[in-house]
A and B are shown apart, each in its own frame.
Chain A
């Protein structure tokens, strides 16, 4: 027993030693850039991020190596945070301490994203959040070495809210999931609705998660509002939409899904979702560039990519290019480079990372096609409008991030 302990101690000491010397010797700390994909591999969000996110990151790395022939090695590791903050935090700590992970990517729920951002800030490592949606990530809880890449609740709410009011949906009623995320989604949207000249007639909070929405839908129906805003996500949204059509609420009143992914449309089918407006950061069938990338993704996953997965690719590519340009993987230097360089790829045109960590890029207002309009598998959206980057996200003047100097 004693001997084992002793050898373990020696081992640990040696490891520390090696770590220290390696850090001093080469530019890319240990000669390896290690990317950790921390995501929901098995739970509620595993279809919109999960294994697909890992594939996207691996594609980004392979493409970067093929194109840039870097003089450092790149490794990708992944883990399932099971949507639990404590598991995410322990994994992140362990990765940074023991595996020398340089960057943590994806992070699909707000609680895990915030937990990992805290750890990463303490340990001085970059986080690239693509999956999580809430605005505190770039507001109250922002850090200088985190980038919120793909979307956030504000962008979705504002994009959809504005568009629907402009289409004539002046009166709103909200079905809101009873937790912070749902409430902030409702708040952001109602502000925009009122600003655009619409009116909010009321709301009902529903438990999270819920199966049956008929009671809440009846209340929405009784309100007589033209638009029912769904301030919820995932299965809750899917069930609400399904049951709205069952109770004959649609198409008399229209629904606005405030957080919907292409996977949701896919599982609901076009028959129930046709005509709905939604905002997205990426649509695979938007142009030749997106189609080309998505085709490669499809070959690996047999599903078209979501905006989260496409965002992961874009974020990792930008990160690796910044390392090459900066000639080091030192956190501050890389982050400075990332913020200084505009992002131009199939995902974003002239995207910029703001001081609060928000990556601003064009968002797209999509309308779900009618079943007869859909020509091939996954042909789901008509892109109705491009929401320019400077209007899509919360303006810096409204941000409460302490890094924003006012």
Chain B
């Protein structure tokens, strides 16, 4: 019982990060119908920024905002340089473009920085600190991740529900052409979506990098896979679904790892993929199904 509760908290912590990544993928998919396989590159680039800053003696308190700002800027730059040129193109073109961006970003770090792993010091509290809740030993790190994620989700919800920008984003996601007929500027809403997606990836990136303590040219693949998979599990295009998908993926990973016998625990990822495959056989649209207006 204690072990289960412990695992659930661990899973929620992990799932929180995935939820933030998936939400960023879903926001961009909503307005552009782009499944962004370059989403993880935001973490690659901020990872190198974190490495550079920490090597130069910055404290983590400054590295945190740096990671977030770099993720937002990277997201906007990628939109401007790559995705703005393929707006309205077929989903296949968009998909290939995002793969292209992923490879180009990796290659830039490979060529101009180094192929080797760059390690940086993690804040002490992310590894050693725990606190007791009855019989449970809860990691401070998990607690912080879960609380920050919940606050971020509340903030995102307020942004989407209460502001004209949020309203424009939702309208554009539902029916882009009609939103433009109402005067919603496509540039504003698409760049805004990329900025929001970058912000969410930046917050997720802070935790991801605190946990990893390193970065490599291909460091973006793992967070990208988690974000894209969670968005798919949740139902592509649904923001709520993406968040649910993130938490489900985190919980599935942690629970499977603890339930599988030691000899095959190394295959956890494989089992998670098998579960996802099963889900798509029975519910190909994911948890939440979204009706998309036909585009003219």
A complexed with B: no
Q: Which B residues are closer than 8 A to A by beta carbons?
A: none
Q: Which A residues are closer than 8 A to B by beta carbons?
A: none
